[in-house]
Amino acid sequence: MKPAAACFVCQKVRGKIAIPGGLIYRDELVQATHLFPNQQGSVYLGYLMIEPLRHAPEVADLTVEEAQAIGLLMSRLSRALKEVLKAEHVYVFVLGDHVPHLHLHLVARHPGAPQQYWGVHVTEWPEAPRGGEAEISTLTARLRAFLAR
């Protein structure tokens, strides 16, 4: 297991890594951000990350309070994605194979996505909305506005 000092998510939490679009949400236990653009400068729009602030490798390592905060935020952001992006469905994935700090992938399925691109293949849909930092910033501002209501 990586020590927290070398953990990518811990570095994000500590503000050592710039977050495109800024934080969507943060409280004393959890934060939410949009996925970073790839090396070509684009990313599937509506791909969010929910992360506990404390270094917790797996779901089993969460405190009750962290688990509750993550669950509530997951629900609120799912509603936000459905309203803001008109998402037909919102997927939640927890993989944990490459980054040893729990993080949930919350991914919108955009309207019209063919069934072959449902589930874990949703981001492979070639016609899905994609964008760079400007589009991420616009989307994250809309998601923050939804959460502020």
pLDDT digits (tens, 9 = 90+) for 10-50: 999 999 999 999 999 999 999 999 999 887 889 999 999 99
What confidence score (pLDDT) does residue 3 get? 58
The domains located in the chain, with CATH, are 4-148 (3.30.428.10)
User: What mean pLDDT comes out for the span 74-91?
Assistant: 99
**Beta-sheet strand order (sheet of 47-52):** 25-26, 30-34, 47-52, 104-109, 89-93
* Model pTM above 0.85: yes
